[in-house]
Amino acid sequence: MSAEKLLIVEDDPGLQKQLRWSFDNYEVLAAEDRESALTQLRRHEPMVVLQDLGLPPDPDGTSEGMATLSEILSAAPHTKVVVVTGNGDDSSAVRAVGLGAYDFYQKPVDTDTLNLIVSRAFHIADLERRNRELMRSQQSALDGLITGSQRMLKVCRLVEKVANSNASVLLLGETGSGKEVLAQALHNMSERASRNFIAINCAAIPENLLESELFGYEKGAYTGAHKQTKGKIELADGGTLFLDEIGDMPMALQSKLLRFLQERVMERVGGRQEIAVDARVICATHQNLGDLISNGGFREDLYYRISEVEVPIPPLREREGDSVLLARAFLARATERHGSSVRGFTDDAIKAIHAHAWPGNVRELENKINKAVIIADGKLLDTDDLGLADPEGESGDLPSLNLRQVRQEAERRALEAAMAHADGNVSKASELLGVSRPTLYDLMRKHGMKVGNDA
């Protein structure tokens, strides 16, 4: 296994040699100025940089040390930079950490202490690298879907079960909750993955154009139809057709779609030839189709055709812990895309993310993170960057992470539920809980609960 790479930026040849000797358990790279430091950084991508802030200033008086630090952090935001300052130069150390340095050390150099700081920097850099890899692997599990919520994991399992069938699937969920991500996952995990995935938003296309978009048209079918054109349904042959916002489809077009779903043949607008199409159909809507059917806005027979399997998708506010998990994943993507040196969130920002209701769901969260990364001045995103209210009172608090407290609360809730179900009968409650009566008595005393009857 190759040694970890450490870049030492030091213009004093004697001290540079001493540091090389002190860090012989690493693959040490050396640079004496900004230009050579950036060259080594790009060529070798070291995880940790040990940099002397006291590099000679530029001819114009600019601090070479601070300029080098800024360029290193800009070129490699995930690199941990430990700066070395002159004795008593606290202001430079504070400014360096403000720019994004991981830690600082003041001369004179004590190699044992410096070794400890550098070792810890490597450890943190490695943990962060693993975390980024974990987030990327979580994405690949279900084509970009990131979740830790039990409700959402159940949705994922259902999607995995039906993916390889030809059953029509109806995805139900609020706008921005991830319906298209799940539709793409259904396609990618099916035997049709190598063929086309054709998506069309029924609400985004004017009614007079939607029929032509779906079914295509023959040359001369109407003014402006200068050539024969295939529609989305025909293009999805052998693959998957995703009809987003199916609840907005006009009634007249619903009849034509129903015929296609029943007979698997279609005709282009202005055509007379029946065309057979083998396409798996996935639909999605944020509307209540039951209400639409009752009000005459949606065909009941079409509903049964498109909903062989229904997949209800919970909104983000009902996915416990997912808002923070997704925020971290979106931050990693955004910093990479925009070349930003933003490294994380303030504690208040995390609380605000957890407390916010996210009416726009995952899409709203991703948009806020992208905007915040672009406009942020510091290394950590705060509530102002995100455009979220500061968390106040208990509503902004994260759920308890004290495992003992969580267990005790869950234990008490289970006891209360069992006793209520058993109408206070200890014998029945103990059977429900799978414990002996003496154990149940002990648990009830532990939680200060009154002992019921044992009849």
CATH of the domain at 297: 3.40.50.300
Residue 269 contacts residue 212 (beta carbons within 8 Å): yes
Number of domains in the chain: 4
Cα→Cα distances 45→4, 38, 42, 49, 372, Å: 10, 10, 6, 10, 27
Distance CA 13, CA 43 (A): 22
Same domain, 204 and 264: yes
pLDDT at 65: 84
| Bridge partners for 163 per DSSP | none
Distance CA 169, CA 305 (A): 9
| CATH number for the domain harbouring residue 336 | 1.10.8.60
- Give the confidence band of 168 by pLDDT, cuts at 50, 70, 90: very high
DSSP code of 217?
A: B
Q: What are phi and psi of 51, to 5 degrees?
A: -125, 130
Same domain, 303 and 322: no
Please identify, among 285, 313, 341, the residue that sits at the C-terminal boundary of a domain.
313
Residue 181 contacts residue 144 (beta carbons within 8 Å): yes
User: Is 268 part of a structural domain of the chain?
Assistant: yes
Mean pLDDT of 49-73: 77
pLDDT tens for 298-352 read: 999 999 999 999 999 999 999 988 898 899 889 989 998 888 888 888 888 988 9
Distance CA 283, CA 180 (A): 9
| CATH number for the domain harbouring residue 71 | 3.40.50.2300
Same domain, 307 and 172: yes
User: Is 142 part of a structural domain of the chain?
Assistant: no
* Average pLDDT of every residue of the chain: 87
DSSP codes, 127-158? HHHHHHHHHHHHHHHTTT-----HHHHHHHHH
Same domain, 418 and 391: no
Strand order in the sheet with 197-201: 197-201, 240-244, 280-285, 169-172, 309-312
Same domain, 124 and 255: no
Domain around 349:
317-396
Same domain, 90 and 105: yes
Same domain, 384 and 250: no
Which range scores top for mean pLDDT: 89-103, 114-128, 256-270, 342-356? Answer: 256-270
User: Is 159 part of a structural domain of the chain?
Assistant: no
Read off the pTM. 0.61
Same domain, 373 and 332: yes
Same domain, 293 and 190: yes
User: Is 251 part of a structural domain of the chain?
Assistant: yes
- Give the confidence band of 140 by pLDDT, cuts at 50, 70, 90: very low
Residues 6+ apart with CB under 8 A from 177: 313, 314, 315, 316, 361, 362
Torsion of CA 139, 145, 146, 151, to 10 degrees: -140
pLDDT tens for 98-117 read: 888 899 888 888 888 999 99
